[in-house]
Structure 1
Amino acid sequence: MTEKPDGIALARAFFARVWGAPHDLDAIDELMTPDYCLHNAGATIMGRDRFKAWVGEMQAQIGEPTNEHLDLFMDETGEKVVSRWITRAVNKGLFGTAPDGRAIDYTGISIWRVRDGRLAECWVERSALELRGRLIAD
């Protein structure tokens, strides 16, 4: 019997190390496969280097982020991990808005595929449209 990869531990480490302070982008090399693929808002980001750049751009637009897994579970094969989460941060110019330091929050669901003991692919749905509407309306 082969041991299942601990996708839940990978998801927790990703949120804590990459999105949490001090934003260790090099942890992506450890946690993700070289061909990591993110499907997000109609766009696909291929490869760890492009993913690191995308994360860096996002982190430049939000400050002091905290992330909380509201639900986190893995399928019986260990190949899929799902997290329903909330991010709380301050606005540093998200969506091209003025970097006014307002408190922001948004929710999302991430579905990761695990391969070779690392996160290999992710599909993300988040409440970005609703957050954008709140930022522009205020």
Structure 2
Amino acid sequence: MRKRSSVDLVHEFWAQVWQPPQNYDAIDDLAVEDFVLITGGTRIESREAFKQWAREFGSKIDDMDFEVVESFENHDGSRVASMWRITGRNNGVFGTEPSGEPIEMTGTAVWAVGEDGRLLSNRVERNAYEVFRKLTEGK
């Protein structure tokens, strides 16, 4: 049996957790217990805290569609970089009023992958400021 690549692991995460229907419990199988997410300069520590963060974030975007734009891994598979795009409707993302307005967000995630084929950490950068400004212009 062929060992899956680290890119395959990350794509499985995207498919299970962010593409509808979202399955946040898949994080239990894909990530280590002491998983770390760094997003917007905030550090979320533990798999359970990450699941809570994912559920909350997901609840703020109705009709979310997640698209993988491009992914690649380093020479030994210990790191994966993935560019992505989310579309949907605003249900209070970034503390805005739930308006149902269409949103589009792009970002990059850099993942650390363990030798056991599980996710160790993720550092995310996204165009949150631009999305926030678009949702709050003239209000």
For this structure pair, what is the TM-score category when the shorter chain's length is used for normalisation?
A: over 0.9
Instruction: List per-residue Cα deviations over 1:73-123 (Å, max 9, x = no partner).
Output: 011111000001111111001122221111101110000000021111111
Once the 2 structures are TM-superposed, how far is the Cα of residue 4 of structure 1 from its aligned partner? Answer: 6.7
Name the counterpart of 1:25. 24
> Which position in structure 2 is the counterpart of 1:43?
42
Secondary structure of 2:130's counterpart equals helix
Distance 1:47 1:26 in 2: 14
Once the two structures are superposed, what CA deviation does each residue of 1:40-86 show, in whole Å capped at 9, x if it has no partner?
A: 10110011100000001101111111111211101111100000111
Residue-pair matches, total = 136
Letter in 2 for 1:133: R
1:113 partner amino acid: A
Q: Which residue of 2 aligns with 1:112?
A: 111
**Residue identity matched to 2:7:** I
CA distance in 2, matches of 1:17, 1:4: 19
After the TM superposition, which segments of 4 or more aligned residues of structure 1 sit over 3 Å from their partners?
none
Match of 1:127 in 2: 127
Give 2:64's aligned amino acid.
P
> TM (normalized to structure 1)?
0.93
Please give the TM-score of this superposition, normalised by the length of structure 2. 0.93
Unmatched 5+ stretches in structure 1? none
- Give the SS at the match of 1:26: helix
Matches within 5 A, 1:1-138: 6-115=5-114, 116-137=116-137
Matched letter for residue 87 of structure 1 = I
Between the aligned residues of both structures, percent identity stands at: 37
